[in-house]
């Protein structure tokens, strides 16, 4: 018997802000607003119909006020970059409960040119004493573990040591993701026209790029960009009159098992080990049913450890699994077809953009990079220091 | 001893909950919270045992011995205060008593060829301020 919430909601609209990448003259709120209005236009839904709101990085009260919305359902779940994926699951539950029929989920982060109004204000930037309520400031920052590259590189080294995973295998992920980026004109690293360092890369290019926090070179690390994104989730009833074909939410899952990287129970397993089976079980799908994976790629390692944690391969087999072009164009498991956080965009909390690409692939809107016959997509957002995950299974009719 | 005016990296803050920990470090001793119900120590210091929920918790001195659980070598300074330190080694150490903690590995070249996950390590303390000494680890 199907799960009672199976196909309980529909993704009706998705969009980026007007521009993404290097956007010098816009604040985070402007990026939220642009993306929100673009996503509503994509859905063919007027702002007056929005009765639920969700966001992270800024208060839902701020976003709703700015846009002139009076929501009856509000979700400020903020667990890092996975938040927006988790918001979709919560929206489904609110819709199933009759508390909302059109939920607008927004994201926006601007920080390349000092419009840094939402990013990482809890982290110590200088040498002062940390806020005692910030445990990472107390027990990690004094050692120079400040920011994602430091935390994730520690986890990656544990995997390499425990399983013999190599830097060349990790580099394969960056190379294949860049191949997808070459087919997405919105990707920052699409080509030399879009960025001086854009265009195809090789495993050697990754291994020879600048070291950030060993074992990560800079090409193991995501971009740092400005961007906004938004997703509109509606009830199955409201979905009967949409501008575009509906994308069904088939399964949802969420979990977190630590906050600081030093407290992670197993550095080689993310909470996707919990959220993945929950989402796939609700959707009633197996790994063989998945046509597209959208996996948060803050770092190359994030993809490898997530695929293992989701059960696409066994623990420790990720290095071999991602090699040989499996994730790239023409591969058996097309993954991160927008070019990912590694080569498309990554404004700090990237999870929203997983939703955009999965929806577009399921609608068949992706042109040159379209995955043939794409019916079922798995989305997995990761937030914090490999701390939180949200998994969705999405499907087209 | 480095004074706070010249020390440009984050300095931990003593609070009622962690005061005993930093007092120990000041004496170059590693003390951790110990759950009397579990009969096990845990880190970081808090008044409720994260394993069983007991509030019957104590303090115990650790041996200071452990093994390297994982490490990384930081090449890009995370804040300007670390500019003179790079490359330096961040590490998670697992104490012989069980708890894992973030630290720096010192007294060894920051070179993957010389560092081995699982290698035995021993606590050492860096005096940051009049009040704070930071526990770090070196090869045992």
HEC string for chain B: CCCCCCCCCCCCCCCCCCHHHHHHHHCCCCEEEEECCCCEEECCCCCCCCCCCCCCEEEEECCCEEEEEEEEEECCCCCHHHCCCCCEEEEEEEECCCCEEEEEECCCCCCCCCCCCCCEEEEEEEECCCCCEEEEEEEC
pLDDT in tens, A147-156: 999 999 999 9
**Is A26's pLDDT higher than 90?**
yes
- The answer on pLDDT for A376 being more than 70 is yes
Tell me the mean pLDDT in the region A244-261. 98
A154·B90 Cβ contact <8 A: yes
- Whether residue A84 is predicted with pLDDT greater than 70 in this model: the reply is yes
By Cβ distance, the residue of B75, B79, B90 closest to A211 is B75
- Taking 80 as the threshold, does the pLDDT of residue A24 lie above it? yes
Length of chain B counted residue by residue: 140
Check residue A123 and give its pLDDT: 43
Contact, A369 vs A182, CB < 8 A?
A: no
CB B75 within 8 A of CB A151: no
Question: What distance in Å separates residue B88's CA from the closest CA in chain A?
Answer: 9
Q: What is the pLDDT of residues A31-54, one digit of tens each?
A: 999 999 999 999 999 999 999 999
- pTM for this prediction: 0.96
Q: Band the pLDDT of B6: cuts 50, 70, 90.
A: confident
Q: How confident is the model at residue B5 (pLDDT cuts 50, 70, 90)?
A: low
Residue A34: which residues within 8 A CB-CB, separation 6 or more?
A: A17, A18, A26, A108, A228
Cβ contact A149–B71 (<8 Å): no
Q: Give the span between the Cα atoms of A330 and A368, in whole angstroms.
A: 12
pLDDT value at A106 more than 60: yes
Alpha carbon distance A293, A315 (integer Å): 18
C-beta of residue A206 within 8 angstroms of C-beta of residue A219: yes
The chain-wide mean pLDDT, for chain B, equals 95
Asked if A351 has any chain B CB less than 8 Å from its own CB, the reply is no
Shortest Cα–Cα distance, A308 to chain B (Å): 19
C-alpha distances in Å from residue B89, one per residue of A177, A344, B23: 29, 31, 25
State residue A133's pLDDT score.
Answer: 75
In this structure, is the dihedral angle defined by the CA atoms of residues A234, A239, A241 and A243, taken in order, positive or negative? positive
Q: Does B40 touch chain A (CB under 8 A)?
A: no
Confidence at residue A115, expressed as pLDDT on a 0 to 100 scale: 43
Neighbours of A368 (CB within 10 A): 9
How far is C-alpha A358 from the chain's CA centre?
11
What's the complex ipTM?
Answer: 0.96
Q: Which of A83-97, A109-123, B10-24 has the lowest mean pLDDT?
A: A109-123
Distances (CA, A) of B1 to A169, B132, B133: 44, 11, 10
Contacts of A185 (CB under 8 A, 6+ apart): A194
Question: Are the CB atoms for B106 and A114 separated by under 8 Å?
Answer: no
Q: Are B44 and A135 within 8 A, CB to CB?
A: yes
pLDDT band for A113, please (50, 70, 90 cuts): low
Chain B positions touching A143 (Cβ under 8 A) are: 90, 102-104, 134, 136
A148-205: pLDDT as tens digits:
999 999 999 999 999 999 999 999 999 999 999 999 999 999 999 999 999 999 999 9
Q: What pLDDT score does A336 carry? A: 98
Q: What's the distance, Cα to Cα, between the start and end of chain B in Å?
A: 24
* HSE-CB for B91 with a 13 A CA cutoff: 31
Q: Does A214 touch chain B (CB under 8 A)?
A: yes
| Cα→Cα distances A26→A108, A207, A227, Å | 10, 35, 10
Question: What distance in Å separates the CA atoms of residue B81 and residue A126, rounded to the nearest whole number?
Answer: 7
pLDDT(A117) > 50: no
According to DSSP, the β-strands at A211-214 and B65-74 are: antiparallel
Q: What is the mean pLDDT of chain A?
A: 95
The two tokens of residue A361 are 């692939």
How many residues does this entry show for chain A? Answer: 397
The pLDDT of B16-37, averaged and rounded, is: 97
| CA B100 to chain CA mean position, Å | 9
């Amino acid at each position: 018997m199907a799960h009672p919430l199976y196909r309980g909601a529909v993704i009706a609209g998705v969009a980026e802000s007007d521009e993404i990448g290097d956007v010098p003259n816009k604040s985070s709120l402007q990026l939220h607003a642009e993306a929100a209005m673009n996503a509503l236009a994509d859905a063919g839904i007027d702002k007056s119909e929005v009765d639920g709101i969700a966001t992270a990085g800024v208060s839902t009260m701020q976003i709703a006020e700015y846009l002139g919305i009076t929501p009856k359902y509000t979700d400020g779940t903020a667990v890092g970059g996975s938040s927006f994926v988790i918001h979709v699951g919560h929206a489904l539950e609110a819709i199933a409960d009759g508390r909302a029929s059109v939920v607008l989920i927004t994201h926006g982060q601007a920080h390349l040119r000092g419009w840094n109004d939402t990013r990482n204000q809890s982290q110590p930037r200088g040498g002062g004493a940390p806020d005692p309520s910030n445990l990472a400031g107390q027990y990690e920052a004094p050692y120079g573990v400040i920011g994602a590259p430091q935390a994730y590189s520690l986890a990656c080294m544990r995997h390499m040591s425990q399983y013999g995973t190599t830097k060349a295998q990790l580099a394969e992920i960056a190379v294949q993701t860049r191949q997808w980026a070459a087919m997405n004109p919105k990707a920052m690293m699409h080509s030399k026209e879009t960025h001086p360092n854009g265009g195809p890369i090789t495993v050697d290019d990754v291994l020879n790029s600048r070291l950030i926090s060993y074992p990560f070179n800079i090409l193991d690390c995501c971009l740092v960009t400005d961007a906004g994104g938004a997703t509109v989730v509606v009830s199955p009833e409201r979905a009967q009159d949409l501008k575009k074909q509906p994308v069904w939410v088939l399964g949802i899952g969420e979990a977190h098992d630590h906050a600081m990287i030093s407290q992670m129970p197993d550095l080689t397993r993310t909470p996707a080990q919990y959220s993945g089976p929950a989402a796939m079980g609700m959707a009633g799908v197996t790994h063989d049913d998945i046509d597209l994976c959208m996996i948060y790629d803050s770092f190359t390692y994030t993809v490898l450890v997530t695929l293992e944690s989701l059960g696409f391969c066994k623990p420790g087999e990720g290095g071999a699994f991602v090699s040989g072009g499996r994730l790239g164009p023409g591969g058996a498991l097309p993954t991160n077809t927008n070019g990912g956080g590694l080569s498309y965009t990554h404004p700090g909390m990237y999870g929203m953009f997983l939703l955009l690409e999965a929806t577009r692939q399921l609608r068949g809107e992706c042109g040159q990079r379209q995955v043939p016959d794409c019916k079922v997509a798995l989305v997995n957002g990761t937030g914090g220091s490999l701390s939180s995950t949200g998994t969705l299974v999405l499907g087209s009719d | 001893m480095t004074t706070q005016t010249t020390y440009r990296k984050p300095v931990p803050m003593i609070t009622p909950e962690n005061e005993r920990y930093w007092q120990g470090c000041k004496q170059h001793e590693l003390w951790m919270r110990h759950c009397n119900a579990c009969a096990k120590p845990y880190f970081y210091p808090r008044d409720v045992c994260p394993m069983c929920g007991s509030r019957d918790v104590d303090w115990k001195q650790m041996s200071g011995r452990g093994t390297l659980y994982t490490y990384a070598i930081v090449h890009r300074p995370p804040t300007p205060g670390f500019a003179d330190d790079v490359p330096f080694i961040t590490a998670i150490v697992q104490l012989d008593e069980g708890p894992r903690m973030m630290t720096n590995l010192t007294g060894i070249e920051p070179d993957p060829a010389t560092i081995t996950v699982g290698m035995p390590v021993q606590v050492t303390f860096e005096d940051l301020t009049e009040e704070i000494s930071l526990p770090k680890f070196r090869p045992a």
